[in-house]
Structure 1
Amino acid sequence: MTITTHLMRTRRFLPLFCTQLLNAFNDNLYKTAMVLFVVYQVYNSEEAEGMFSAVASGLFILPFFILSALAGQLADMRDKAAIIRRVKLCEIGLMLIGASGLFLAWRGFDLPLSIPLGFATIDTTLPIALMLLALFLTGVQSTFLGPIKYAILPQHLRKDEVLAGTGLVEAGTYVAILTGTILAGWIPIEWAAGLIIVTSLVGYVTARQVPSAPPLGAIERIDRHILRSSVALIRRTMHDRQIYYAILAISFFWTIGAVLFIQFPPLAKNVISASKEVASLFLVIFSVGVAIGSVAVNHLLKGKVSARFAPFSVIVMAGFVVAFWFVARIWPVPTEGPLLDVPQFLAVPMAYPLLGALLGIAIAGGMFVVPLYAFLTTRVAPEQASRTIAANNIVNSGAMVGGALLAMALTAVGLEITDQVLMSAGMCLVSCWLARRLVMAERAAEAST
């Protein structure tokens, strides 16, 4: 019996694996179904669609920026299994809110709603407000579960099982992301509304079976002051030059990723003239590419944690971004008729170069970012792992919110979606510089030992 087969038969691993898989599936099913429905069924303006996609991305990411310090402290100072159970119980309520918004929008209840923000008033509808509220709460849930996913496995598994367990969790997460993304583009919105509720209920049942995981180190006082604790956490984490440059490089990479993900749905509809199933296909290709890149770089590095391929990878990524922009610019836009479905899209000769460029972006991106994440778990003590991941989440989310705000600003000033893609290629150059600094810090650390 292999270690993998053995783990899938034990309570030490299987409930956590199932809980993480269901969480990733539900998050992506809800997020993708909501964005595709609003872009394709509610709005009929490229500017409004791009703005909604940016607002949705920013709302989901914002909790990581605000609450990651508290989440990291709780994960290191409290029973991780207890936190998982409480968070998954709350997920049932937030999915009821999201399903209500999806159902009301599907039924056409466009009830006007004005939301005062002090400096401005946002005019929207009740269904969209409910959907965005649920999306924000989904971000809160993911903020508290994120650090635990990486830190709980060494407590439940033996040393010779940790690598296999981590690989299973990552593989299961990718499968769940792909499944949720594909279903969101293909099933009716009312089915999606029901399925997210059912999945949250099943996820709570599996979470109840996760064994206890008490704190490993000394219990410290939890600082609930959000700003102070966030600043203190980042300062404690970023003193190591390798961790510092790894976090900065990861953050800038996800800024690029945030801009690209915001652009995909409106670009598919307004530039490619394609249906929501094709927009879903774009997201699937991206996820598959990141998974391929993850496996490829691990093979090249032969299991050694190193950033030496990162600068080259992100330059290759920039080249594929330019190729994607070029194909989108010369895409033959139909003058009339319905949006292209998947077979019609694939019948267009330029479809394969477009998908090839998108796959190349994702593969190179996976090769760039995956080794950098390994620095965060191999360069710190085990009892500090959750807080290191939390510090990374704070900086990452701040950068991603910045990317969402940048996309909103560019849309507001009238820059075309296609040209916003080209801007991402320029941002890759900054990531290359940060990765180069990380490689230099890595070599300096090796020389001193």
Structure 2
Amino acid sequence: MSSQFGLMRQRRFAPFFLTQFFGAFNDNLFKNALVVLITFDAARYTTLAPGVLVNLAAGIFILPFFLFSATAGQLADKYEKSHLMRLIKLMEIGVMGLGAAAYALDSLWLLLATLFFMGLQSSIFGPVKYAILPQHLAETELVGGNALVESGTFVAILLGTIAGGVMIALSGGAVWVSSAALVVALAGYLASRGIPDAPAADPGLRVSWNPITETWRTIGFTRGNRTVFLSILGISWFWFYGALFLSQFPGYARDALGGDEHAVTLLLAVFSVGIGVGSLLCEKLSGKHVEIGLVPFGAIGLTVFALDLWWASPAAAPGVNLPIGTVLAEPATWRALADLVMIGVFGGFFIVPLYALIQSRSEASHRSRIIAGNNILNALFMVVAALLGAGLLAAGVSIAQLILITAVLNAAVAIYIFTLVPEFLLRFLVWMLVHTVYRLEVEGDDHVPEAGPALVVANHVSFVDALVIMAACRRPIRFVMDHRIFRWPILSFAFRTSGAIPIASAKEDPAMMARAFAQVAEALDAGEVVGLFPEGQITADGELAPFRPGVARILERNPVPVVPMALRGLWGSFFSRKDGKAMTKPLRRGIFNRIALVAGAPVPAGAATPEALQARVAALRGESR
């Protein structure tokens, strides 16, 4: 498959995509129509202030995520998911029918009840939505599939928000909104009928209906895998960040740009486009694998462009409501729009790999409950964001200052998370290497087993060989390397973080050599992948040196499959020893030099002699060095 868009032509993805797209559209169609109605016509229903009603509506919609997400996660693990989706879409038709009755009866409280049931339906749909993807998509398609889902969701939010605001303002707006919501709900149900079966992960699960105890237990599931839990916190932080930004759009459009309601729509549109573009770029930038190195990259962009938005924010004259054409005539507006687009793009880089990581690293038997826990924490963070934003604005903080606070908080939270999980920063450094210094082509990386122990052997051309191989492979690899290279100041962080194993010769330090072989055995016993450069040193002439007997010693203790690999194109690079010491001459062969990694089929331990492996690596390398 050439790109993620090919999924849109396949039954295992397209009906699901349309189902979730129509659902997101409908949520925002109904919500925004109701917000507009109570903002401009609240006096017809109640003496409560419009602002109070708007916040009450937001709270009513999000409340079911706290109450029912845990139960929803259990249901998604217990039952076949495509059937469950169809039932949820039938429920949506009923909810929209209730909404039509509420509009016909002109009952505010029935409208708010409809909003609650919409939140209930969405909270049940969430765990199924993300848990079904790993069942229908290959690992190499997860990033692309999540990118399409995230970009499609934000487009649906944008279109639904615009449609709700426009329809409710028309003559007979309630009829328009009711009719459209019912039609879209029906379209979502019809789309759901095409979703292929997704077998239950844990059909024997006994569902607990106590929302309090089960919510606590569900959050406990998220803590079972530390990296998954911190990824969930990262996603929740993104929704905190996004909720703070989105809630300020009306005030920013009015106070900073001097615009009217059309300016608000413009801000939402450019932000949504940015999220969509960033999400779709993830597949290309990650090489179709779950590339968590994009997460720090996204965090940097979220901070940098938020800081620029604060710095560049103009101050409009009080009470001015300029038409959109006049607003767009101001250069400051275009800078603000560019910042919002880039915040959206880097938001896509941040969020898509995290969702894919949760799906790929969660236990299949309770993946839905982990995603339900994610939804609970997301909702909690959004509520805190709303309270913080309201509190700071009430204390006299300007919207521009609130944007500054958000940018600084984002930097602090990102540093904290990446300190707790150095794997994110390691992957970022590796990703930057192969995307700024080299253009890496990978062939045969699927020969590395998806699970279980294995030994990877490759030719040794430069100081960055291990980083290039780590960038190309899906699984973490613990490399055995010369202790002097292991201690290089620039590269030591990457090597230490990846669990590299320093080694010395028996003549130089026999104790270190013994420790290294013991660590290799422990890693293979634990089912990890260990990498080795059997030549024992970086080539000084570009040729392949004889493989040393260390690989035989390893296989004698742990008879695991051996994956031969060959690096091409690194000889003559800045990090190689061509024409003298490495990294002592100007960059050679230019930025974005094309390199390649070619992997061969695994060799059984019994046939993996040093001579046989050298011949396999030489054949894979070919004439290229």
Q: Same fold (TM over 0.5)?
A: yes
Q: How many residues align?
A: 422
SS at the partner of 1:213? coil
**1:179 maps to what in 2?**
159
| Residue type at the aligned position of 1:333 | A
**1:198–1:154 distance in 2 versus 1, CA, 3 Å:** same
Which one of 216, 231, 250 corresponds to residue 201 of structure 2?
Answer: 216
Q: Deviations over 1:379-403 (max 9, x none)?
A: 1233332122112111121111111
Which one of 231, 238, 262 corresponds to residue 247 of structure 2?
Answer: 262
Counterparts of residues 132-211 of structure 1 (less than 5 Å): 132-156=112-136, 168-189=148-169, 190=173, 191-211=176-196
Give the CA RMSD over aligned residues: 3.4
SS at the partner of 2:331? coil
- Say if 2:315 is the partner of 1:331: yes
**1:403 maps to what in 2?**
385
**1:73 maps to what in 2?**
74
Higher relative contact order (CA 8 A, sep 6+): 1
SS at the partner of 1:215? coil
Q: CA deviation at 1:258?
A: 1.3
Preserved CA contact (<8 Å) 1:54 1:405? no
**1:117 maps to what in 2?**
none
**1:319 maps to what in 2?**
304
Preserved CA contact (<8 Å) 2:37 2:168? no
Q: Percent identity?
A: 38
Q: CA deviation at 1:74?
A: 0.4
Q: Deviations over 1:365-386 (max 9, x none)?
A: 2222222222201112333321
SS at the partner of 1:370? helix
Q: CA deviation at 1:316?
A: 3.0
**1:256–1:8 distance in 2 versus 1, CA, 3 Å:** closer
Cα distance between partner residues in 2 of 1:202 and 1:268: 34
**1:97–1:304 distance in 2 versus 1, CA, 3 Å:** same
**1:358 maps to what in 2?**
340
Q: Structure 1 or 2: larger helix share? A: 1
Cα distance between partner residues in 2 of 1:386 and 1:195: 31
| Residue type at the aligned position of 1:434 | Y
| Residue type at the aligned position of 1:87 | I
**1:306–1:153 distance in 2 versus 1, CA, 3 Å:** closer
SS at the partner of 2:209? coil
**1:15 maps to what in 2?**
15
Preserved CA contact (<8 Å) 2:81 2:199? yes
**2:26 maps to what in 1?**
26
Preserved CA contact (<8 Å) 1:184 1:280? no
**1:275–1:355 distance in 2 versus 1, CA, 3 Å:** same
Cα distance between partner residues in 2 of 1:396 and 1:9: 31
Preserved CA contact (<8 Å) 2:255 2:316? no
Cα distance between partner residues in 1 of 2:279 and 2:348: 5
Preserved CA contact (<8 Å) 1:315 1:429? yes
- Say if 2:236 is the partner of 1:251: yes
**1:368–1:207 distance in 2 versus 1, CA, 3 Å:** closer
Cα distance between partner residues in 1 of 2:239 and 2:87: 29
Preserved CA contact (<8 Å) 2:81 2:128? yes
**1:181–1:386 distance in 2 versus 1, CA, 3 Å:** same
Q: CA deviation at 1:239?
A: 2.8
Gaps of 5+ in 2: 44-48, 427-495, 500-522, 529-625
Taking structure 2 as the reference length, what is the TM-score of the superposition?
Answer: 0.60
**1:6–1:284 distance in 2 versus 1, CA, 3 Å:** closer
Cα distance between partner residues in 2 of 1:205 and 1:297: 30
**1:438–1:280 distance in 2 versus 1, CA, 3 Å:** farther
Q: CA deviation at 1:81?
A: 2.5
Cα distance between partner residues in 1 of 2:140 and 2:236: 31
Larger Rg: 2
Preserved CA contact (<8 Å) 1:34 1:102? no
Cα distance between partner residues in 2 of 1:161 and 1:298: 8
* Structure 1 stretch displaced more, 316-325 or 347-356: 316-325
Cα distance between partner residues in 1 of 2:26 and 2:69: 21
Preserved CA contact (<8 Å) 2:150 2:276? no
Q: Deviations over 1:158-188 (max 9, x none)?
A: 7887776555545543443333234345445
| Residue type at the aligned position of 2:335 | P
Gaps of 5+ in 1: 110-125
